[in-house]
Amino acid sequence: MVAERGDVPDLVPARMVNEFAYYPRLFFLEWVEARFADNDDTVEDRYRHRAVDAERGCAPLPDEGELRETRSLLFSSDTLGLVARVDIVEGGSEGAVRPIDVKRGRPPDNAERSWEPERVQLCVQGLLLREAGYRCDEGYLYFAESKERVRVPFADALVARTLELVGELRSVAVNDLPPPPLVASRKCPRRSLVGICLPDETNALASRSEIPPRRLLPRDQASRPLYVTEQGMVVGVRGGRVG
């Protein structure tokens, strides 16, 4: 469901909380204005999720039986105002469960071995499991490229930060205009919406930056094959150009 001006849907998807934590303007363009464009990263993401997107397994409520493992499970809560489709939910000891969120690539080389938007999205899933009556104290991020699991405890500080972001998200969503772009941010070049967001151009027109706009190229939706027909020819890429 898409938000309308002054009317934010009752349930916020966990993925949009991730987007907001990463870049509020990106969240606004995707969720409020319903604008989206694919690039290689988003296509790869869908490919990585093809196995966990298929619903499988049973998810009995805590008083109905034991949850062992289930995939692509949808949870929502009117109290929290959140909704999430959890890639995998595993049963643990003494009735505990843990969500597992599948990510592409490898874990970053930082203390938490993850980024805040990823931890916040996973925490939303944990909060929804708790709201459904399960005991859920931790979750895992599974990085598909390196086949590694990263444990994320649902500590009080992470829960508080997650709920804080949800509140900020709702405040931003009722505005008529998206938040301004970041200035010369390294987040921009690989984003699929860079051709819609136009961060450097927008900042230049608003006199928010004196830095010349970078050459940020959106993905060409009309992909075309390149044929090399002369024997012995060598094709290479230099400076973003084929030659």
Alpha-carbon distances of 135 from 46, 78, 99, 161, rounded to whole Å: 30, 19, 11, 20
Alpha-carbon distances of 92 from 18, 29, 48, 134, rounded to whole Å: 26, 38, 25, 11
Give the DSSP per-residue string, 186-231. TTSTT-TTHHHH-HHHHHHHTTS--SPPP--PPP-SS-------ST
Tens of pLDDT along the chain (243 residues) come to 444 445 678 999 999 999 999 999 999 999 998 887 655 555 566 555 555 666 677 777 777 778 888 999 999 999 999 999 999 999 987 779 999 999 989 999 999 999 999 999 999 999 999 999 999 999 999 999 999 999 999 999 999 999 999 999 999 999 999 999 888 777 776 676 777 778 778 878 888 888 888 776 655 555 677 778 888 888 888 876 777
CATH of 12-173, one of 1.10.3720.10, 3.90.320.10, 3.40.50.150, 3.40.190.80: 3.90.320.10
Closest Cα partner for 46 from 35, 54, 58? 54
Q: How many CB atoms lie within 10 A of CB 223?
A: 6
- List the chain domain ranges: 12-173, 180-243
Task: Name the pTM for this structure.
Answer: 0.77
